[in-house]
Amino acid sequence: MSAARGAASDRCDRLSGSRFGNHSEEGSDDQKGYFGTTCEELVRERIEKLTRGKAVNLNDLHHNHPVTDLEVTTPGGQRYQVSVKGKAKPKWPAVKGIVTNDQYIVFVDCADVSDVGFYIMSCRQWQSVLKRILPERDKGAKIVKGALEWRWVDKDVKKKWRGSWLLPDEIKGYKDKWSTLPGVRARH
């Protein structure tokens, strides 16, 4: 196991231990926020190491920043944003994705803390995943702004649901593809 993957495993292990122990009940907003922030920091640190650039957590500037979590500036001045999705259970729930070519998405899989997985995609690759999983989800969904979306009317009230669960096997081809990100060399 690489040193970086080992550090990620250590952090996820501490998180999974705290999920059931010293905090309020599992799944609370505080725990979700702490877990999400930890995943964002894991990705931020890895991107800074691989690009030698600067990554800023947008949630530090604007609480619960919409769509993306990190803004990266490479040493050459290129800027892009990264959405980070973390999970400690078998699947990512209600994933809403990215929509522009300067956005990337990184899934962090902490379900097995001895082997933390990172899955990295461009916007084009994410759209391809959505098209591939669409037939496997509940009927009636459409791809809208980087997410699967269902719309219906219930008692004359228009309703909608955005996002879909996602399994690691559905994105396994993107595992450790850090070179997808601008400023990261193919060999790291």
Give the pLDDT confidence of 75-126 residue by residue, as tens digits: 999 999 999 999 999 999 989 989 999 999 999 999 988 889 999 999 999 9
Averaged pLDDT for residues 160-183? 95
Query: Which has more confidence, 25 or 2?
Result: 2
pLDDT value of position 63: 72
Cα separation, 19 vs 22, in Å, equals: 8
pLDDT value of position 161: 92
pLDDT value of position 62: 75
Which is nearest to 106 in space by CA: 181, 14, 184?
Answer: 181
At 18, is the pLDDT very low, low, confident or very high (cuts 50, 70, 90)? Answer: very low
Whether 19 has a pLDDT exceeding 50, the answer reads no
pLDDT value of position 32: 62
N-to-C CA span, the chain: 14
Q: If DSSP states are collapsed to H, E and C, what string results for the chain?
A: CCHHHHHHHHHHHHHHHHHHCCCCCCCCHHHHHHHHHHHHHHHHHHHHHHHCCEEEEHHHHCCCCCCCCEEEECCCCCEEEEEEEEECCCCEEEECCCCCCCEEEEEEECCCCCCCEEEEEEHHHHHHHHHHHHHHCCCCCEEECCEEEEEEEECCEEEEEECEEECHHHHHHHECCHHHCCCCCCCC
Q: Chain-wide mean pLDDT for the chain?
A: 85
Widest CA span of the chain, in angstroms?
Answer: 56
Tell me how far CA of residue 121 lies from CA of 10, 13, 129, 180, in angstroms: 24, 25, 10, 7
Whether 16 has a pLDDT exceeding 70, the answer reads no
pLDDT value of position 8: 57
Whether 13 has a pLDDT exceeding 80, the answer reads no
Domains of the chain in sequence order: 3-123+166-180 (3.40.1350)
Tens of pLDDT, residues 155-166: 999 999 999 999
Per the CB < 8 A criterion, the answer to whether 123 and 101 are in contact is yes
pLDDT value of position 1: 53
